Amino acid sequence: MDLRDIHTPVLLERCIELLAPALGGDSPVVVDATLGMGGHTEALLERFPALTVIGLDRDTDALRIASERLARFGDRLRPVHTVYDGIAGAIEECGFARVDGILFDLGVSSLQLDVADRGFAYAQDAPLDMRMDQSGGVTAAAVLATYGEGDLRRIFERYGEEKLAGRYARAIIQARGQEPIERSGQLVEILQKATPAALKNAGHPAKRVFQALRIEVNAELAALETALPAALDALAVGGRLVVMSYQSLEDRLVKRVLAQAVRSTAPAGLPVELPEHAPQFRLVVKGAEMASDDEKLRNPRATPVRLRAAERVKDAA
């Protein structure tokens, strides 16, 4: 199968436009912190002939596919098997002190969604795995088998913002007493039966629960909370960070980190801001940008995206 048939990079042109001003040097370096199947990286390598991309991914299948797909670029692509909170170590491992651009395309990759037996999609019956890195870690089935009712409710509320979290947690505890919950089809059936009739048409009952399980299994928010400050620290002056989020929990975290980065450190009431208190970063996108209606039609996975970006304007004092 041609990978271009199953993978259309989200906001590709906008990402390149935002990163381009930072890539004018003799040998610029970009970190694609979520390499996936390499769509964004491919376009960057094609358009900037002197560019090197450090491509991070925890998914060994994604790294293999991207490496094969982009083999024609030789060592201009440096694939690294790591979660994106390992960004600082990956940059050092590849022999660089600072980088000129960093791109985060968060959420689930096309590969993970489209391969049914990974268990990410509630619309397809498959084993409840949900691990982005299948070389280790706890599966979603193990979470459902071992977590208590209170813990299940907590993750459904926190990571899925699910109003029926308690109801769904109780239903899962009752159901697993009859048989192990090992497939997505089983879980969907349990959730559908536990959903009040009045709410049957208020969106698929499994959507937020599956999101919550995926985030728990992969510790996504904890990794992102560590990765964003590390990414900002790794940027050279003039370097740019671009982040695409697909759900509100991610976007709120990105917004908070960037707001802190562009804030002056001057004490309150100081009549003049001293240079050492000036922000190290500036926002290059006002608020969060969304995909155009045309792009949403061409690529439905762009529908929930929220893009934010910042540029380093000075080094730390």
Q: Is 272 exposed, middle or buried (0-12, 13-18, 19+ CB in 10 A)?
A: exposed
- CATH 1.10.150.170 in the chain is located at 117-218
Amino acid identity for residue 65 in this structure = I
- Phi, psi of 213, rounded to the nearest 5 degrees: -65, -45
Per residue in 209-231, pLDDT (tens digit) is: 999 999 999 999 999 999 999 99
Per residue in 124-133, pLDDT (tens digit) is: 788 999 898 8
Quickly tell me which residue has 């529908």 as its tokens.
303
Is residue 117 part of an annotated ligand binding site?
Answer: no
Is residue 57 part of an annotated ligand binding site?
Answer: yes
Q: Is the pLDDT of residue 268 over 60?
A: yes
Is residue 39 part of an annotated ligand binding site?
Answer: yes
Contact 109, 193 (CB under 8 A): no
CATH code, residues 3-111+220-312: 3.40.50.150
Is residue 112 part of an annotated ligand binding site?
Answer: yes
pLDDT of residue 204: 79
Helix axes 220-234, 248-261, angle to 10 degrees: 30
Is residue 84 part of an annotated ligand binding site?
Answer: yes
Per residue in 198-208, pLDDT (tens digit) is: 877 667 778 89
d(CA 20, CA 221): 28
Ramachandran area for residue 137 (φ above 0: left; ψ -120 to 50: alpha; else beta): left
pLDDT of residue 7: 65
Contact 169, 152 (CB under 8 A): yes
Is residue 204 part of an annotated ligand binding site?
Answer: no
Say which CATH superfamily domain 117-218 falls into. Putative methyltransferase TM0872, insert domain (1.10.150.170)
- The number of C-alpha atoms within 13 Å of 191 and in the hemisphere containing its C-beta is 22
- CATH 3.40.50.150 in the chain is located at 3-111+220-312
pLDDT of residue 116: 52
pLDDT of residue 284: 97
Lowest mean pLDDT among 86-90, 117-121, 170-174, 304-308: 117-121
